[in-house]
């Protein structure tokens, strides 16, 4: 009887749920593989071609107004801003959801966890930066980029919240697109300001996406169990 009930419940799960799970697992696997490949190259002190091309491209587009704009963009990935913004997200979750404690818990785990992971990996790899610029938080070790891991998790979690909301579909796509573009811009700003290599940013995106997907999958599973 219990076995039949389980089969019946599983059969009622929408097809799109399985699609989301498959896409999440593909993202998880792809991001993990990318980070592992870049990390191996950094450990072997490999010179990446993409870093050279990235630096040359930045030199070709550098302008005064772009310098000011990128300096502003990069602040949206700073520790100070992400801490303040995370407090507002926690307040929003508290008032917007019924089962708020699990969402709050996993959001906190996602943000605190990625901060700890980034710091540990920086100390592990000890990769020197292209330039040390305190003005743009360009101090300490370079790999992976904290301005890529943090924004990927924070703004990525916002993408998840928007995607799960009751907003109209066109508004969801618009907001998710803008947030995703902002993540890319923040990462690009680090290369433009010469405080990170392209591979630092790519590794940061990969690590952040891996951690974000893990946290969201566990959150969704927890909410599903509680609902059942």
Active-site positions read: 147, 196
Check if the beta carbon of residue 138 is closer than 8 Å to that of residue 201. no
Check if the beta carbon of residue 137 is closer than 8 Å to that of residue 186. no
194: left (phi over 0), alpha (psi -120 to 50) or beta: left
196: left (phi over 0), alpha (psi -120 to 50) or beta: beta
CA 71 to chain centre: 20
Rg, Å, the chain Cα set: 19
| 129-142 as b/e: b if 16+ CB within 10 A | bbeeeeebbbeebb
196: preceding bond cis by omega (within 30 degrees):
no
DSSP string, 19-59: HHHHHHHHHHHHHHHHHHHHHHHHHTT---HHHHHHHHHHH
* 3-state secondary structure (DSSP) of residue 133: strand
């Amino acid at each position: 009887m219990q076995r039949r009930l389980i089969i019946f419940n599983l059969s009622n799960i929408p097809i799109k749920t399985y699609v989301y799970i498959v896409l999440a697992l593909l993202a998880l696997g792809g991001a993990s593989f990318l980070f592992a490949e870049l990390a191996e190259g950094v450990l072997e002190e490999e010179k990446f071609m993409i870093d050279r091309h990235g630096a040359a491209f930045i030199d070709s587009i550098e302008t005064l107004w772009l310098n000011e704009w990128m300096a502003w963009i990069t602040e949206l990935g700073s520790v100070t801003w992400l801490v303040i913004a995370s407090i507002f997200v926690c307040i929003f979750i508290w008032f917007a959801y019924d089962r708020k404690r699990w969402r709050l818990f996993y959001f906190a785990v996602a943000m605190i966890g990625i901060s700890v992971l980034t710091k540990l990996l920086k100390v592990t790899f000890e990769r020197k930066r292209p330039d040390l610029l305190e003005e743009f938080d360009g101090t300490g070790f370079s790999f992976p980029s904290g301005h890529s891991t943090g924004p990927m998790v924070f703004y990525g979690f916002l993408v998840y919240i928007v995607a799960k909301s009751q907003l109209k579909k066109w508004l969801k796509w618009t907001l998710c697109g803008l947030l995703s573009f902002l993540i890319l811009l923040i990462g690009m700003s680090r290369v433009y300001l010469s405080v990170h290599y392209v591979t630092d940013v790519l590794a940061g995106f990969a690590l952040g996406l891996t951690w974000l997907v893990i946290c969201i999958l566990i959150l969704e599973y927890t909410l599903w169990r509680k609902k059942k």
